[in-house]
Amino acid sequence: MIRREFLASAPGLPMSMALSHLMAKEEAGANPLAAKPPHFAPRAKAVIFMFMVGGPSQMDLFDPKPELTRLGGKALPESFGKPVSQFTKGDTKCLASTRSFRRHGRSGLWMSDLLPNLAGRVDDICYLNACHANSSVHAPAMYEMHSGRMFPGHPTLGSWVAYGLGSPAENLPAFCVLLQPEGTPEGGAPCWGSAYLPATYQGTLLRRGPNPLLYLNPPGGVTRERQARSLELIKGLNKLVEDPADSRLSARTATYELAFRMQMSAPEAVDLARESAITRNLYGIDNPASADFGSRLLLARRLVERGVRFIQVYSGGGPLSMQWDAHDDINGNHQKMCGHVDRPIAGLLADLRSRGMLDETLVVWATEFGRLPTSQGTLGRDHNHYGFTMWMAGGGVKGGHVHGSTDEVGLYAAEGRVSVNDFHATILHLLGMDHERLTYPHAGRDERLTDVAGKVIQPILA
């Protein structure tokens, strides 16, 4: 009898978790989160996916439009058609941006005065200025940007990454989610769900503070030794009825064991007090306006250092006042929201660069859509899914680079158009995965993140 058969045939045998862990390594297929080889050599090993909830305005942050300034207060020319918007009714006037734009860095990328700290990092950033999506309604647009489909029930990007690559972080989840404390985005839990992929691959919500996960610590009176014996008993009982063609029992056991190991690893990973005052200040934690988002980005960096594969960090959520959804006052809203994120994002890029981590960490700045060049009311802008900006940095993309453009007023994506499928295909490619080969059988077909479309954005690859 070989060692594995002996261990599996003795469910009541009191053994250490170390032995169990060794056996799990030996039986890599039994652990759904075991690290898996990519399809080809990756440029990035991890992703920090920042999502700006509500739809920031591209022409007030990254993409200045002199023609829009000239047309300010005038009707949108008929040559642009009549874009369908969610709330704006009737003919509206062009709304010129009041922001001051300058070129920055060696690359000369444009950035507005709303992001003075991030402007110092433009040589790390690659703008995608011609993004377009399929919905101007928040929840469907969020579902599309996270899962490639405009309705819930499909695995999200982070789940596909965890499924495709597993994780080298043996004591932490492969996919972590850090929310705005005021509430969740409108799309809710489907934005980090695994849908028909095994539940092991869904995002794990981490809270701030010394207890990142609820119920992580055992009940009073339950020792680690007692927990270890219970897990071994469960594993042994599962072995007696395990079907080699069905991985659900082994996946569930792996989840139990991960939770056990996290009791030791997670508290240390989320303890930002271990960072120097200089580092915390770099992320803006010394400023009440940026302290919360800065804490989440610093935690994201610590998780990447410990092998977590995908970290999803939200700016915005809960009440409308805590989102980028500037229907009434684009300047007032964006001044506040940029104040939350400017120093933290600049600090993250600088910190990753100084630690030699940026080249292997893909940093993504994403949102569900942008804003229209016309006014809503007097000072606001409505949703615009026809053309908007997202960006990437590090992880194998060209820094100080602009890909694509919108038209003269920033309404429609024009040259170098980037669909959501293209966006997802490129992220997978940078992680060493072919989006057409990353599939999962469901309901009679091989499903994939990019459905039946998507192409890698080759011009942005370094």
Is 202 contained in some domain? yes
**Cα–Cα nearest to 369, from 121, 138, 115:** 138
d(CA 174, CA 104): 36
Residue 75 DSSP one-character state: B
Say which residue the tokens 């009041």 belong to: 98
User: Are the C-beta atoms of 118 and 346 separated by less than 8 Å?
Assistant: yes
Q: Is residue 29 part of a domain?
A: no
Question: What DSSP line would sit under 121-146, residue for residue?
Answer: GGGGEEEEEEE--S-SSHHHHHHHHH
256 located within any domain: no
The reply to whether 18 falls in a domain is no
pLDDT at 3: 43
Maximum alpha-carbon separation in the chain: 84
All residues at 6 or more sequence positions from 425 whose CB lies less than 8 Å from its CB, including other chains: 435, 450, 454, 455, 456, 457
What is the predicted pLDDT for the residue at 17? Answer: 39
The pair of structure tokens assigned to 154 is: 């499909």
Number of residues written out for the chain: 462
376 inside domain: yes
Q: List all residues 6 or more positions away from 62 whose beta carbon is below 8 Å from its beta carbon.
A: 110, 111, 112, 127, 129, 389, 391
Residue of 162, 158, 145 whose CA lies nearest to 52 = 145
Contacts (Cβ under 8 Å, ≥6 apart) of 204: 173, 175, 176, 177, 213
pLDDT at 186 (0 to 100): 95
Quick: pLDDT tens for 31-76: 788 999 999 999 999 999 999 999 999 999 999 999 999 999 999 9
283 is a domain residue:
yes
> CB under 8 Å to 212, separation ≥6 — which residues?
206, 266, 267, 269, 270
> What pLDDT, on a 0 to 100 scale, did the predictor assign at position 81?
86
Q: Mark the ranges of the chain whose per-residue pLDDT is less than 50.
A: 1-28
Residue 155 to residues 45, 138, 288, 428, 456: CA-CA distances in angstroms? 20, 18, 35, 14, 20
Task: Note whether residue 20 is domain-resident.
Answer: no
List residues bridging with 264 in a β-sheet.
none
Q: What's residue 211's pLDDT?
A: 66
> Rounded to the nearest 5°, which phi and psi values hold at 178?
-120, 110
DSSP state string for 292-354? HHHHHHHHHHHHHHTT--EEEEEE--SSGGGSS--SSBHHHHHHHHHHHHHHHHHHHHHHHHH
CA distance 310 to 205: 12
Closest CA relative to residue 158, chosen from 256, 47, 259: 47
pLDDT for res 22: 38
Cβ neighbours of residue 214 closer than 8 Å, sequence gap 6 or more: 207
User: If you ran DSSP here, which 8-state letter would residue 117 be given?
Assistant: T
- What is the CA 25 to chain-centroid distance, rounded? 28
pLDDT of residue 11: 46
- Range of 362's domain? 3-11+45-212+270-460
Q: Please tell me the pTM assigned to this model.
A: 0.89
CATH number at 389 reads 3.40.720.10
- Residue 35 domain-assigned? no
> pLDDT at position 16, please?
39
The answer to whether the CB of 302 falls within 8 A of the CB of 361 is no
What CA–CA distance (Å, rounded) separates 313 from 297? 7
Cα 285 from Cα 131, distance rounded (Å) = 32
Query: What's the confidence (pLDDT) of residue 20?
Result: 40
Domain total for the chain? 1
Q: Which pLDDT score, from 0 to 100, does residue 417 have?
A: 99
